[in-house]
Amino acid sequence: MAASADYSELIPNNVNLASDRRLQRALESWHPKFMQWWKVRGPEYFQDKDIYLRTAISVDKKGWAHFGSLKMPDYRWGIFLAESVADKTIGFGEHRGQPVWQDVPGEYRAPLRRLIVTQGDTEPASVEQQRLLAATAPSLIDMRNLFQVNVEEGRHLWAMVYLLMAYFGRDGREEAEQLLIRQSGDVDKPRILGAFNEKTPDWLAFFMFTFFTDRDGKYQLGTLAESAFDPLARSCQFMLTEEAHHMYVGETGISRVVQRACEIMLDKKTDDVRKHGGVDLATLQKYINFHFSVSEDLFGSERSTNAANYYTAGLKGRYQESRLTDDHVLVNEAYSVTRVESGKLVNVEESALGVVNERLRDDYIADCQRGVDRWNRLIAERGIDFSFTLPHRAFHRQIGEFADVFATPQGQLIDEAEWNKRKHDWLPSEEDQAYIGSLMVQVTTPGEFAPWIAPPRIGINDQAIDFAYVSI
Ligand code: BYC
Ligand code: FE
Ligand code: FE
């Protein structure tokens, strides 16, 4: 990209980029590196094909979901903040009631940078994890959805890079470069958070990821959307509008796999769904167990001084803070959490301030449960006696209170030997993964679907299901 490119034209934005020469210069040097990253670590296939994509060109109702066919490298990664609210005040912590900050207070520079970098790191990580999936897309509409998620995660990276460059000077520019250098699953320079170094090898994993892991995004973005640092709050608020589609892709994706499994069970009068090329419900349950537990880890330790300090400082709130009816300081509030005590799980009251991570995880679990209930309804409506359950929060955890114990999905503590004996009753085994892998075939005829998944009920943006969402 030539240095003379008009960045305010190239990058749709509502941050007055045209008038900020310093920021433009910073973006001019980062943009070609981003494009290089996209080329090498973004979607491996179909970069030269027209994809029916939604692009945000402004934040109002008309502009944020603008549909058209374009090639992914021509997607306009914009920088948008949700509309500002006049006289907005800080909603929680020790600065509650004071005006929100339009700049970064010196004393909070380091923790804010850390939060923004951690958030920013997840976005390109997910694109890296998903980069080979188009090769096995079960239909054109699914392939399009994958690419939609990918370009928007790219835009979320831009959103965080904008904050780093506009508010954190040289440190911010260095962090922006590192965001393109760390790599999902890399031994030397891995992504920051655990789940973002896992593989997303097949479409079942992709749907689970967008259901469970993008939903962590919903809750983390929700807490940052409460931040006293207003540009961060408004960035995250706008990102949430895009996030809804990612979770929709996951939820409907799994629904369609469930639906197909049920059809096979009813048509063939058998529980042996695999014999007829479907995904059996027991394997789906194992995938749920894996992706749910790995995503739970993303909320950090239940007792966290980091989180308490973020909260007190006003950097990171609770989900929908303003709807909660307590003192929004939490020093004298209690909250019940599960702990391991002498080899047993017990519920104890803790200081609410010390356990804000756990509270957020509780909100997240309740939201996941609502999705699981909808899948269960699909199964029950078809008269099949089976239901999915979310595993206990102590199951298969790497972070926090339960990192050192072994627990069954029902929450019974067991020893390591028993865990090793039984873990593949609960988590996908190599054989399960190989089976799922064997189902993955690319389908590129408009309106046709791989046999392991039912068609969606509706198309994208009122287009027909057999619309050519990717022009091949
Ligand atoms: N893996 O007090 P602790 C999304 C570290 S997803 C590795 O327990 P804290 C998206 C932690 O960093 C949303 N390390 O936790 C979804 C800390 O390290 P240091 C992403 C972990 O700090 C799909 C130490 O353990 N956004 O947008 O309260 C596709 C002790 O920390 C993990 C955010 O996460 C882990 N799982 O909370 C695309 C929001 N968990 O400081 C995108 C920003 C903890 O001792 N991040 N550690 O070196 C945060 O708010 C916090 O960093 C966390 C951790 C909630 C992640
Ligand atoms: Fe994102
Ligand atoms: Fe997302």
User: Across all residues in the chain, what is the average pLDDT?
Assistant: 96
Backbone angles phi, psi at 316, to 5 degrees: -145, 120
- Coil, helix or strand for 300? coil
Q: Round to whole Å and give the CA distance between 289 and 369.
A: 12
Query: What pLDDT, on the 0 to 100 scale, is given for residue 5?
Result: 57
Q: Round to whole Å and give the CA distance between 402 and 337.
A: 12
As given in the structure block, the two tokens for residue 371 are 């999705």
pLDDT above 90: residue 184: yes
Nearest residue (CA) to ligand 1, atom 45: 306
Contact 67/50 with Cβ under 8 angstroms?
Answer: no
Segment 287-291 shows an average pLDDT of: 98
Cβ neighbours of residue 462 closer than 8 Å, sequence gap 6 or more: none
Question: Best mutation site among 155, 306, 337 for ligand 1, i.e. most ligand atoms within 8 A of its Cβ?
Answer: 306
pLDDT above 90: residue 436: yes
Q: Where are the domains of the chain?
A: 7-439
The conformational region for residue 54 under phi > 0 = left, psi -120 to 50 = alpha, else beta, is beta
Segment 371-389 shows an average pLDDT of: 98
Query: What pLDDT, on the 0 to 100 scale, is given for residue 57?
Result: 86
Q: For residue 79, list its beta bridge partners.
A: 13
pLDDT above 90: residue 351: yes
Segment 396-423 shows an average pLDDT of: 98
Q: How confident is the model at residue 208 (pLDDT cuts 50, 70, 90)?
A: very high
Query: What pLDDT, on the 0 to 100 scale, is given for residue 433?
Result: 98
Q: Is 259 touching ligand 1 by the criterion CB < 6 Å?
A: no
As given in the structure block, the two tokens for residue 42 are 């973004």
Nearest by Cα to 57 from 238, 314, 260, 289: 238
pLDDT above 50: residue 4: no
Q: Is 226 touching ligand 1 by the criterion CB < 6 Å?
A: no
Note the pLDDT tens digit of each residue in 7-63. 777 889 999 999 999 999 999 899 999 999 999 999 999 999 999 999 988 888 778
Distance 420 CA to ligand 3 centre (A): 33
Query: What pLDDT, on the 0 to 100 scale, is given for residue 10?
Result: 82
- Coil, helix or strand for 329? coil
Q: Round to whole Å and give the CA distance between 317 and 397.
A: 24
pLDDT above 50: residue 161: yes
pLDDT above 90: residue 459: yes
Task: Write the burial class of residue 440 (CB in 10 Å: 0-12 exposed, 13-18 middle, 19+ buried).
Answer: middle
pLDDT above 80: residue 2: no
Q: How confident is the model at residue 64 (pLDDT cuts 50, 70, 90)?
A: confident
Q: Is 240 touching ligand 1 by the criterion CB < 6 Å?
A: no
Report the atom number in ligand 1 closest to the C-alpha of 310. Answer: 28
As given in the structure block, the two tokens for residue 324 are 């909660």
How many helices and strands in the chain, by DSSP H and E? 13, 6
pLDDT above 90: residue 276: yes
Cβ neighbours of residue 53 closer than 8 Å, sequence gap 6 or more: 67, 68, 69, 70, 72, 75, 144, 147, 148, 151
CATH topology of domain 7-439: Ribonucleotide Reductase, subunit A (1.10.620)
